Structure formats: structure tokens, C-alpha cells
Structure 1
Amino acid sequence: MTPESSDAERWCVVTGGRGFAARHLVEMLVRYEMFLVRIADLAPAIQLDPQEQSGVLGEAMRSGRVQYVSADLRDKSQVVKAFKGAEVVFHMAAPDSLIYTSSPSVVFDGVHGILNGSESMAYPSKHNDSYSATKAEGEALIMDANGCNGLLTCCIRPSSIFGPGDRLLVPSLVAAARAGKSKFIIGDGNNLYDFTYVENVAHAHVCAERALASGGDVSSKASGQAYFITNMEPIKFWEFMSQLLEGLGYERPSIKIPAFVMMPIAYVVELIYKLLGPYGMKVPQLTPSRVRLLSCSRTFDCTKAKDRLGYAPVVPLQEGIRRTIDSFSHLTAGSQSKREGLSKASRILGGGKVADTLLWKDLKQTLTAVLILVSIYYNFVATGSTIITALSKALLVSSVFLFLHGILPEKIFGYTIEKIPASKFHVSKDTSHHLSLSVVTSWNTTVKALKSLCQGNDWSFFLKVVFVLLIMSFAGAVSLHSIFVIGLPIAFIVFLVYEKKEQEIDSVMLGFKSFACKRKNEVSEKLFGSKKYD
């Protein structure tokens, strides 16, 4: 759509208009009827959610009070086209006034906490992360642009935005709770934070626009400045998180871990991501900058915004929390959908009793198996018996058990003794047939493999065979004692951990696989590449 405006129309542009806070700003501008609104974003066309379709935004778009334009702010021609005829642009460059959405992180060094910080705080020599550093650079450019050719600018620094439509804070918090990671408090849990309900952030932008448009002393005092925006109700960071979790039906975090304990772990995770990130590893949640943010205090003074912009929160903190919880009813603990079908770990184990035992699906069955294995270990393995001796002992114990079980009466002191029917030891024709087929199939597969090796053409298959046989030779050298002491405990733990952390482990393995394939291709090119030109 080509943006056009008549002399009687007053247009504003909201860049990044499909973002979290920007959506609320657009709806507020529509409700206030201050401007006709042009949404500028990267997507070629706007896709409205069902709620937006039937709400204020959908109605405004159908009536023409809101337009959408696809624009890349790195392309000057697209920017000029998107801003044509606009009086105000929220967030990026504008003809008459410019309101830039920044962040309080521009004054946070990642080490020292901030209590009731004011706008007089200078930028740190080193920022906590690249996001904070680029926001600070943007602020500096916006401040320098104030007064150029009549342009009035200011910077809004909303602190820790939350509310309906959030796609980061609450979803990640719920994901952590469902994965059992929300039990922990990083630090002492007493660090204070200023959170800002998203509607208050939108209101702050409107206040800023009104102040810049007022003229006289009001606009001159408001322009060229940065403003902290909060709900003006500091709260302990972990208390805020606990209220959200409790409201959604999850447990409060309660286990405190000192930040100095988490930092080395975070650095290791960050290093692993730097190595495996290019090969598909997901961005980790645990990073040094995240640990600092979760353990430091960050509260800010909004006096300047109140005096010069006329800002005051329109939605109190507790009301904002309530609205946020209500909007995420689909993420409550009770709505958590169960896994459809078998897990990958269960499929690997065959999905039967072995899987149920190793994955602790049936606690009684698993504990029984553990007791039996412990008994076998102490009676047969730990004694240093040979395989034939151990097998003889096992058969002897089984024979004695079956004989004694057989001569027992059907009832003892009123308790019924379940007899083991002879059919338990009978192998049916179908089972025999399947077993025979399995043996024949295995033999045919082996013969096929031998034929392939005899041809001497498939290097990849040859290396796989060698690798498997080497593994088997190493495995054959492992004693029965080691299998019981090391192998079985690992089996009871590894498969359970894999089922719980399937996505994370698969992501890491995919990274390793991609890395290995890349190195394999490089080696192959060096060894065999020259043959192509012989």
C-alpha cells in the first residue's frame, strides 16, 4: 500500500509496529483518536491474530484509520515512503518529532546494582551485552538529532516490560517451570526490580508525544532528554516471578543458589554456544549477562518523566499482574498437554517393560528390578564367579524357587498364593516363527554386508563396519563386574535424563554431528579431492 495523506489528516508512524509494546501503543493511539496510524514493519503483509481481527485494530484497518506498510529501515527509499506525510514517528526517524524506545540497560554495567537510578547516570565504560551497547548508541544519535531542522526528540527507557501479548518473559518462565528449572533463585532473592505494565509503556509514548507537540517551555524542556518509565512500584524480582508462577498454577522458586556459583557455569555454557552455535545449537538461557540481570537490583526514579512529560502509570502493578495471568490461561499448569505417543527414549528401548523400568514409569517395577539386580550382583558377580559357575548358581536358585513355590498350598493364613502356570514357559508357534525369521534376517543382512565389502567400492560402509567392530572389541574387554557397577546405574539415569531433556540433548548432538560432518568433508577433500583431476 502506498502511504498517502491529505492536509486535513494527521498521521503518525509506529516502526516495528508488530512488536510486543508497539502493538499496545498502536491500539492506544487508535482509541485516543489522536492520529491516523501507519504501522511499519519488515513483513510483506500484516497478519492479525484472531483477537486483533475482531478488536480495535481490525476495525481500524477496515475503516482506513490504520494502514500497514512493509519497510526495512536500512533502506532509505523505503523509509521515505513509509514516513511520507507523517507528523510523528514512534521509535525511529520522523519529520516533526521522534520518540525512541530505549532501555534502562544503557546505564547498567552488569556488575553494580542500581537503586532509584536517575537520568543523570552516565553510560558505563563497558555495557553488560551488545543489546545495551547498541541501545546506548541509538540514544546518543537521537539526542544529537534534537533541534536539527526543527526536529524534537526524546528517549523512553521502559523497565522490564510485561503484560498480555508478551512472547518472551511469561512463555520462557512457564517453559522453565514445566522443565523443573523454576525452583531456583539466583542470588539471595532480595534484589529489587522495577517492572512496567505494557499499557503504561504505551501511555508513556503518548505522554511524550503530547509534551513535544505542546510547544513553548513544555516542549523545550521535554525534548532532547531521556526518561525512565516504570510502574513506580518497586518489588523484589523473585517475588514478582513467584506471583506470576503461582497465578499460573506452578510452584514458587525456593532453592537459593549464590550468583558466584552460577557464573562459572554460565561462562562454560556461553563458550559451548560459541563453538556449536553455527551448527544449530539453540541460544542458551543461562549466560553471564542473564545471571547478572537476575541477581542485581534495578530500580529507577520516574520523577523526571512525571514532571516534564506528565507521565503517571494508568494500570497499577498488581492489576497488571492479574491481567497478565488471565491472558495466559492457556499456559497454566492444568492446561499442560501430555506428550502424544511414546517418547524418543521409550522408542529406543522398545516401548515395553524394559522401557517402563529404565524410565521409571512404574516405580514399583523399577525398584523390584533394582533389588533383583543388586541381589544378582552380590550373589554372582561380586564373588568373582566364572560365567558357567554364575549360570549354574542362577539355575540352581531358580529351580529351588520354582520347586518350593510349586509345593506351597494355594492359601497361607488367608493369603492366596498365585501359582505359575506351565504355559508361562511354553513358546508358541508364532513366537518360534518370529524368532526364526529374526535369525534368518540377521544372517541375510550379514551376508549382504560381506558381499558389499568384497566389492571394495564403499569406503563409507567399510569405515562404519570397522568402527562398530572396534566398539564391540572394546565392549568385550569390559568385565561383568564393571557392567554392573558402572553400566547399569548409568542406564537407569541416562535414559531418564534423555527423556526429560530430549530437545536440548538432540540440539547439542545435532551441533556435534554438523561439526563432525564438516570436518569429515574437509578431510575427504584433502585426501581424495586431487583424484578428480588425475
Structure 2
Amino acid sequence: MAKDQYLVIGGSGFLGRHIVDQLRARGDSVSIFDIVQRYHDVPFFSGDITDESAIASALKQSGTTCIIHTASPPAGLTDGSIYMKVNVDGTRAVIDAAIACGVRKLVFTSSAGVIFNGTDIIDVDERLPYPDVPLDAYNDSKAKAEALVIASNGKGGLLTVALRPAGIFGPGDRQCMSGLYQVYENNQTHFQIGDNTNMMDWTYVGNVAKAHLLAADKLDLPPPAPPLSTLGKAPLSVEEVPPLSEAEKALVNTPLSTVDVTTGHFKIPTSNARPLGPYVTRPENGDELEANWEQGSAESSGRPVGRTRFDQLSEAGIARSKLHDPEQNPLQVAGQIFFITNGEPTYFWDMPRAVYQQLDQHFPGHRKPRSTIKMPKTIGLAAATGSEWFSWLTGRTATFTRFKVSFSCASKWHNIEKARRILGYEPDVGIQEGVEKMVETPAYILAFQFSSWYPTFSDASIKSTIIRPLSGEFKEYLESDSVFVPVGSEDVPPESTLLDDEDEDEEAGPSYAFPELDTKIRECVQEYGAVFPKLNFTSPRDASWLLPAGSPLKCTAPADVYMLLKSSDFVSNDLSEESVFEHCDDPDPHAGGGSPPPSEYALELVLRKWYSVNPSREMRCFVRAGRLVGISQRDTNHYDFLMELETQDKIVQTIQKFWEDKILPRWKGRQDYIFDFLLTRDLSRGHIIDFNPYSPRTDSFLFSFEELRELAQSDPSKSTALPEFRYIDSQAHPAASRNAPIHQHNMVPFEALQMSSGQHIEGFAEMWKNEQRAIEESDKSRKTLDSVLFDLLRNLNARVGRGCVGVARAHDCETLGVLVEDDITLVLDELALLVDTVDLGPSSGTAFVGETVTSDLLFKAAEASHL
């Protein structure tokens, strides 16, 4: 079956961008229809969603077979008419354009709020009707648009499905997070309305995006049994409906495990988290409940297969659904509605408190401790009524309303069993991890650039000099494709390790010069003897493969520094704010407190005093929730001495003591981070190499982040083994014997890693040697041809009595002088014979000559023949 071509309407928005990312990650072809272009490497169509012709044009040009429609104005706007225009009229235009263009699939993003009627919503499923009286314009418009989508299923060959996510949050969120940032910035986090016993669903944006892809993939699958309309005689009652087929039984009766992403293993990180519900008096089985909360329980590992007749997935419930709509099977995807949540309802106020606690780690000392001020719901409603009256009298927009009070005090959680069984949906990212990802702000990332942490730890790290800011021209130089050194930096001392004095070829390209930077680099070299460069976050360690083994990364001149940075793929991460702040909340100063403006990021060059480092003594250390939980060997090669238990104990003790004495007192407010540590020869001391964000962007080497999280969640009183030390125990270890890009220790170019995928190091080394032999043989052929051409030119000079004075090689000649026509003809004939007789390998002789030393010669000879 041919793969779908996707058009994501609203692909530049919060959810849309995550859907686009997931589609691209799995290799799908995707285009975007929106009014703002954020991707410049994805086909983009700009237009008004209410303009059917603009949508149809985008569908035809992109060849779309599946539309994912996520576009919508944010909730909370005062002008309700915009919701009807965009959500209702716009969705109608999308449907009409899709049918007219023959599109097969339409996945629509609805909202769980379409069924909220102001009362508690507790474990409800998709059968709950829309409220008789809508409470707000946003959800009313979403309900109307959802109804249009479902009603259009099957028209003109179009298959449709609607998803109802609840409480979407995650990186890039401008709605939930902007308000929480403002509350945090104003130090108003101690207010609470209600008693916080109401539960609410939240859903990580990546989980919602995953659900959209699942729905699109399964939208055209046949139902597990034919709809009733295909029967000869339509049944009139539940009893007359045929029994479930085997496929239907398997779909609804297979036991499901609990949604165990966060609940059952990890508390939401707030002091108000409670196991299995609020209580005033501790129940008799409190110990058992708390044990289940911490460790999970086999007794809760799966929903009972037995169902009541009121369950929508019971046989009676399915029969009623079939009678209600004989044209489709309720267990198919097309024409259905699905709730999408994280499957872990959370006490309403615990969620923002989890965010505040995470922000505390990024902004230590900002929030002052205060006792919680609790406002009863009745008083909150009265105050909101007064606020609305005052706003009406003054003509202002009410920000504190009765709807918001009711919303914050009502339970709103939904049953997602239908999505789990029919779509195969399971949330991948839990609330705790999702909060951490969402609160990974640019300010948090900037705390780990070298100039941020080095002043605090300069006495515990390698002596270094920071050159900041760097010019835009220097950034442009590093981003350019060609490898060349700036003018004025090439006068290097004899011991320079990077430049090859024998290579006299100069690469064409723009000319750069950085005299002031050259001077600063030379001053550092004079002070330190030699330096090792890095940028804000990243060092060019991946370039060490091309340097002499005896002095890796050693720079003794400006040209060395430039060539090392230019040869590295790793340092490119520091050149653009987009890559530096990837996965962060948008670095917009107007999005709320906590997100700094992008202008705070400035490229910096760090020159560290160079000395020979034994990679076997480099360790990566992981601090999670204020605890040193893991230590990993950083250079993932096998070292025999690390196998000794006494050595392992000494390494752990040295790093633990250093962390407790040097790092912990200075970074008390920072709970999660990763640092690299270099041990001395006797393993009794050491110093800091670098700090890194606790984030998937940082290589976790011999741990996974899931394993680190489990270590951090373990009982401190029982965790005598922390920090856990991991090392390469043999040459056969997966990290030591394979070129996995996750272990970037092999120090070869990324392209070489790709070429060697699936091969052992030994096999890759042999392949590399063979390539080098081939290059050397080719070079020999080039040199032979070069010498023959030189002899030919010398003979020509002898014939005409003039030529190139001081010529060392044929292509060094500036001019051939005025040559007689007969001699030129003779030379060209000899050149043609030479091309025919010299063995040039698989390339044609003409192409080889044209690409090497003879190109200039032939041009000048031809030019001279016209004189």
C-alpha cells in the first residue's frame, strides 16, 4: 500500500509542530497549511482556512491523501465570533475541499471540553452528549466542528475521525505555560480555589501527536465485523443484533495493563501529592496503599474483562451502538470519536505546583515560601460574579469569571479505553517527565553554557579564558562549507599539529580575517603553552580522529583553533539558537516570566589550558532530584584496571566526596544536572571538565534516562549502592564493539558513523584502510601524470627558447609566453596521446586531466594559440 502524503493544517502551531516532527521522524512526506511559516525545509502553503479554493490548491499541489486538521484560535478570547469563523466555517471549508480533491482521510483535533457542562466529569466515555447550553464559545465551536467532521464520514470517499485531547501541555505551549509563568514570576503560587480534591486529565503534547498518527494509519482499516446495514434484514432490538465476531471479542476482551507512565511508580513532584485519593483520617490499609503507589501492584495490572451492560464496550453496549448507526461498526476508526489523555488523572492544583517546583530548580531562590491560601468555591463564585459585574459596568474584559472558578473546582477525567483498544494508543510520556520537558526553558539551558558556570567553579576546573562576544562574521566563517583558515592566522610555529606545510593548494572562497581574535588566541597560547578550544556548550572532540595521537586537540596557533572548530560537526550545535534551544519552551520574552529573549545567547570561544588527558579517567556523573545517582565511564573503550573492585570503590568515593564538598554547596537550588569529571592518576582527586543539562540532548552513555529516574526514585534509606557506577566490562560490550551514534566516543565524522552502521570497529577500520589505499594509489597516478606533463612542458620550452622561469610544477606556471602555432599543435597532440596511454583508473582520461594539474595548462595553451 502506498504511503500517505500528509497536509497538516495548523502545522506551525503548538500541536501541529509536534505532529510534523513525528511524521518527519518516521520518514513520511508532509506539507503545512498555515498563516505563519516556522519550518523552512517543509513545503508550506499560506492561506485562510475559510478559503476553500486556497485549501484545494494546497491539496492539489502537495498531492495530499491525508489531512490532519489542528488549526484553531486559542481558548479564552473575548470575541466568540472568531471561533465560529475559524473552527466551524474553516472546518466546513476543509471538508468541502477534501471531498472535491478526492482526499481519502481527515483527522480532526477536537477537545475533551466539548462535553463539559459545569458539573463533575468522572470517567466518562465518548457517549456523553454535548451540553444543552454551551458554557463557552471555544468548546461550543469545537463541538459544532466535530459534528461536521463525523457527519461527513463516507461522503465522496472521505474517511473521518475526531480526537478529543484533554489539557494539552508540553514544550512550546503558549497557553497553559504563559499563565503559569506569570503567576510564578509574580510570586502568586500560594493561592488556591477549592479543596483540591477534584481530578483533572492532562495530556503531554507528544502523546497527542502520537494519537493523531495512529488514527491516520488505521482510518482506512476494515471494521472487525460488517455493519448492520449489510445484513439482509435489519435488526430492530438489541436481542436481534448478531453476537460479536471473534475479531470483535478479541478487540474488547483482551486484558489491558494499567496506564503506568507515572501513576503507580512516581509521585508528581509536589508535597501535596497523595496516593489513590484524598483522605483526612489515615485508612487501616494506608501502608499497603502507599506501597502500591510507590511500586505498583499486580492487583491493579489490568482492567477486569467482565463488564456491566452499561459499559460501551460490553456486548450490549456495542449492540446499542450498532442499532444507533447501522452504517458503521463502533469498533472501527472511521466515523468515531476518541478521548485522548495521559490516563493518569491528577488533582487540579497539583499540576501547576509540579510546574512551580520544576521552575524552582531553574530559578533558585526566586519563589518565597508561603503557606497556601485556600478560597472556598462558594466564595470564589461570589467574587467572580462581582468581577463580571464590575467589568460590565466599566467596559473592561473580565479576567476572573464564574466559568473559570467552576472549571478549576470540577472533576474532569475521561475513559480512554476505546482509544487504547481501537487505536492502539498508549501514552509514552508521563506527567512528571512531561513537566520537566515543558519547563526546560532557555534560561535552564543557558545555565550550562561555559561562561555561566565557570566563574562559580573556576577553582575546581581547568584554567580557561572566555572570549565573548564573537562577531557575526566569525559565526558566518564557522558555518561556511569550505575549509580554509582566515588571513593572518597561518603564520604558525613549527610544533603546530593541524596545518600541513606541504599542502600548497589554496581553496577558493570568501576571505576572512580576525586580527583581534588572532591576537587574543596568541596571548592565551603564550600564557598556557597550548590551548584546547570549545564554544558555549560543545567541544570539537569529534575532530580528534584527524589529529596526531600524541597531541590530540592541542592548539598552538590561531590557525590550529580555526581548523579544529571547522573540522567538527559537534560545535555546529552552538551556532544557531534553534538548535541550542531545541525542545525548549519558545524563547519569547513576551510569553511570560521565565523565558528570556533570544538576544541573551551570544556565541563565545573558550580556550582551555591544554594538557594530555588519559580518557580512561574521564567520568560522566548524573545528579537527579538533588542526588548523585549514577557515574558512567565516559570513554567507552575497555580498560582492564576498571574491572578491579577496589578501583571502582575509589572512583565512586572520590567523585562523591568532590560533589559533596565542591558542587553541592554552590548549587543547592539546582536539582538536575550532569557533569563530566577527570580523575588524577592516583584516582584520589580530580576536577570538573564540563556541566550539561539533564536532558535527552546530553548523552547518557551507559545509562538510560529511565534507569536514572528509577535510581532517583529509590528509597534513600535503602539505596546504599548509590551512586551506581557503570563501566565497559569487556571488548564485547555493545558500547565498545559497535559504532552506535548514541555513543559518540569513536571520534570519527558523522558520515563515517553512518557508513559503518552495523559494523564492528575492526571491520570499519579495515574498510577505512582500504579506502586510504585506494586514495594513495590514485595519488600515485596523479603524481606520475604530473611529472610527465612537466617533462612535456620543459621540452616545449626548449623548442621555443622561452617558457616559464622558476617553474616547480606544471600548474605553477603563470604564462606559457608566445608559442608558435606548430609547437602548440605538437604539444596538444602529445597531450592527447598521453591521456590515452596513462592508466587513470575508472574515471575517463579527459575528466581526470580536467580536474587536476592540466586544466590551467590546457587553458593557457589554447589562449596562447590565438595570439
Match of 2:175 in 1: 168
Taking the aligned partners of 1:200 and 1:327, their CA distance within structure 2 comes to 20
Aligned CA distance change for structure 1 residues 257 and 151 (closer, same or farther; 3 Å): same
Give the deviation of 1:170 after TM superposition: 1.4
Could you list the runs of 5+ residues in structure 1 that have no partner in the other structure? 1-6, 49-56, 334-534
Which of 87, 92, 96 is matched with 2:65 structurally?
A: 87
Which of 175, 179, 197 is matched with 2:204 structurally?
A: 197
Match of 2:357 in 1: 246
Which of 48, 52, 74 is matched with 1:76 structurally?
A: 52
Bigger helix fraction: 1
Taking the aligned partners of 2:160 and 2:194, their CA distance within structure 1 comes to 39
Which of 152, 171, 183 is matched with 1:145 structurally?
A: 152
Aligned CA distance change for structure 1 residues 168 and 181 (closer, same or farther; 3 Å): same
SS where residue 173 of structure 2 aligns?
coil
Aligned CA distance change for structure 1 residues 316 and 104 (closer, same or farther; 3 Å): same
2:16 partner letter:
A
Match of 1:301 in 2: 415
Q: Which structure ranks higher in relative contact order (CA pairs < 8 Å, sequence separation ≥ 6)?
A: 1
Residue deviations 1:347-399, cap 9 Å, x none? xxxxxxxxxxxxxxxxxxxxxxxxxxxxxxxxxxxxxxxxxxxxxxxxxxxxx
Which of 13, 20, 24 is matched with 2:14 structurally?
A: 20
Q: How is 1:71-470 mapped onto 2 (pairs within 5 angstroms)?
A: 71-84=47-60, 85-91=63-69, 92=91, 93=94, 94=98, 95-110=103-118, 112-217=119-224, 221-249=332-360, 250=367, 254-274=372-392, 281=396, 283-327=397-441, 329=443
SS where residue 326 of structure 1 aligns?
coil
Give the deviation of 1:71 after TM superposition: 1.4
Aligned CA distance change for structure 1 residues 255 and 31 (closer, same or farther; 3 Å): same
Give the deviation of 1:199 after TM superposition: 0.2
Identical-residue share of aligned pairs (%): 35
Give the deviation of 1:100 after TM superposition: 0.9
Give the deviation of 1:217 after TM superposition: 3.6
Alignment of 1:42 with 2:35, yes or no, is: yes
SS where residue 134 of structure 1 aligns?
helix
Is the contact made by 1:160 and 1:195 (CA closer than 8 Å) also made in structure 2? yes
Match of 2:693 in 1: none
Is the contact made by 1:107 and 1:121 (CA closer than 8 Å) also made in structure 2? yes
Aligned CA distance change for structure 1 residues 41 and 260 (closer, same or farther; 3 Å): same
Taking the aligned partners of 1:262 and 1:17, their CA distance within structure 2 comes to 38
Give the TM-score, by structure 1 length: 0.54
Taking the aligned partners of 1:13 and 1:272, their CA distance within structure 2 comes to 46
Residue deviations 1:143-168, cap 9 Å, x none? 11011122111110010000000111
Taking the aligned partners of 1:252 and 1:136, their CA distance within structure 2 comes to 41
Give the deviation of 1:178 after TM superposition: 2.3
Is the contact made by 1:185 and 1:253 (CA closer than 8 Å) also made in structure 2? no
Could you list the runs of 5+ residues in structure 2 that have no partner in the other structure? 70-90, 226-327, 361-366, 448-867
SS where residue 69 of structure 1 aligns?
strand
1:11 partner letter:
Q
Aligned CA distance change for structure 1 residues 9 and 120 (closer, same or farther; 3 Å): closer
Is the contact made by 1:242 and 1:253 (CA closer than 8 Å) also made in structure 2? no
Deviates more, 1:84-93 or 1:202-211: 84-93
Taking the aligned partners of 1:208 and 1:40, their CA distance within structure 2 comes to 20
Give the deviation of 1:285 after TM superposition: 3.4
Is the contact made by 1:158 and 1:196 (CA closer than 8 Å) also made in structure 2? yes
Aligned CA distance change for structure 1 residues 273 and 25 (closer, same or farther; 3 Å): farther
Give the deviation of 1:323 after TM superposition: 1.3
SS where residue 43 of structure 2 aligns?
strand
Aligned length: 306
Is the contact made by 1:174 and 1:331 (CA closer than 8 Å) also made in structure 2? no
Is the contact made by 1:100 and 1:142 (CA closer than 8 Å) also made in structure 2? yes
2:215 partner letter:
A
Give the deviation of 1:331 after TM superposition: 11
Give the TM-score, by structure 2 length: 0.34
SS where residue 219 of structure 2 aligns?
helix
1:87 partner letter:
T
Give the deviation of 1:268 after TM superposition: 3.2
SS where residue 337 of structure 2 aligns?
strand
Give the deviation of 1:288 after TM superposition: 1.7
Taking the aligned partners of 2:218 and 2:189, their CA distance within structure 1 comes to 42
Aligned CA distance change for structure 1 residues 274 and 71 (closer, same or farther; 3 Å): farther
Aligned CA distance change for structure 1 residues 77 and 236 (closer, same or farther; 3 Å): same
Residue deviations 1:307-365, cap 9 Å, x none? 111111121222112211224646999xxxxxxxxxxxxxxxxxxxxxxxxxxxxxxxx
Residue deviations 1:81-130, cap 9 Å, x none? 122221011115332111111111111112x1111111111111112211
Q: Structure 1 segments of 4 or more deviating over 6 A? A: none
SS where residue 222 of structure 1 aligns?
coil
Match of 1:408 in 2: none
Give the deviation of 1:286 after TM superposition: 1.6
Alignment of 1:32 with 2:26, yes or no, is: yes
Give the deviation of 1:9 after TM superposition: 7.7
Residue deviations 1:227-273, cap 9 Å, x none? 11011111111111111011101458721101221223223333444
